[in-house]
């Protein structure tokens, strides 16, 4: 069931609390995850001023993780609002600044449509080149299509492939599974598939 509430705040609060609990258990117990903005459209991010990155230790050294999700509480019927994701950005970068170049970034933009000749709504970009024949494709400017990328999948990548040590220790697989299941069954109209 999608997130419904009688006011926009009743929609935003449960999703923020869900995400904050997951990120506090895995990446950072000190950074505050909250909304910027008021009314029916808000952006969820780690906040210190306008936003911040979270330092993480990988098997190859330090990186910085950035998360941002723009959400909207849309009027549904006469009495309810439904929470809708407009955009998301998950970034890994070498330096903490918000304007730093990302090594990897997963993005979604709901405003892009099949009717508009532009890049994929769901995509990944990387600060590298891919040899295709004699030419190089700049993956920093290409928009390689993906499906919907959940924060749990990004965390799984960080923990498994980059060997980030989750704060919750060896219980991380259960924590991610529980979070994914809650996301699908409490916050969307989709069902969780094991």
Place of tokens 């304007």: 99
Q: Specify the higher pLDDT residue, 113 or 124.
A: 124
pLDDT at site 191: 52
Tokens of 71: 């959400």
3-state secondary structure of 180: helix
Whether residue 30 has pLDDT greater than 90: no
DSSP string over 97-128: -TTSPEEEEEEEETT--TTS-S--SEEEEESS
Q: What pLDDT digit, counting tens, does each position of 38-57 carry?
A: 889 999 999 876 668 999 99
Nearest to 143 by CA among 127, 129, 128, 123: 123
| pTM of full prediction above 0.85 | yes
What average pLDDT does the segment 119-148 reach?
A: 94
Ranges of each domain in the chain? 4-187
pLDDT at site 118: 84
């Amino acid at each position: 069931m999608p997130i419904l509430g009688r006011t926009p705040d009743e929609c935003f609060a449960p999703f923020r609390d869900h995400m904050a609990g997951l990120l506090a258990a895995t990446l950072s117990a000190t950074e505050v995850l909250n909304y910027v903005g008021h009314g029916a459209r808000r952006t969820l991010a780690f906040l210190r001023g306008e936003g911040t990155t979270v330092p993480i230790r990988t098997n190859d050294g330090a990186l910085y993780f950035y998360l941002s999700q723009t959400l909207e509480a849309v009027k549904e019927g006469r009495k309810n609002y439904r929470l809708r994701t407009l955009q998301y950005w998950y970034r890994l970068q070498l330096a903490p600044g918000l304007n730093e170049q990302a090594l990897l970034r997963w993005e979604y933009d709901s405003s892009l449509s099949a009717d508009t000749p532009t890049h994929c709504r769901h995509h990944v970009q990387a600060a590298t080149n891919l040899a295709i024949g004699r030419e190089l494709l700049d993956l920093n400017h290409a928009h390689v299509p993906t499906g919907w990328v959940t924060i749990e999948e990004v965390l799984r990548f960080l923990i498994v492939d980059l060997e980030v040590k989750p704060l919750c220790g060896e219980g991380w697989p259960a924590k991610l599974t529980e979070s994914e299941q809650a996301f699908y069954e409490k916050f969307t109209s989709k069902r969780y598939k094991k």
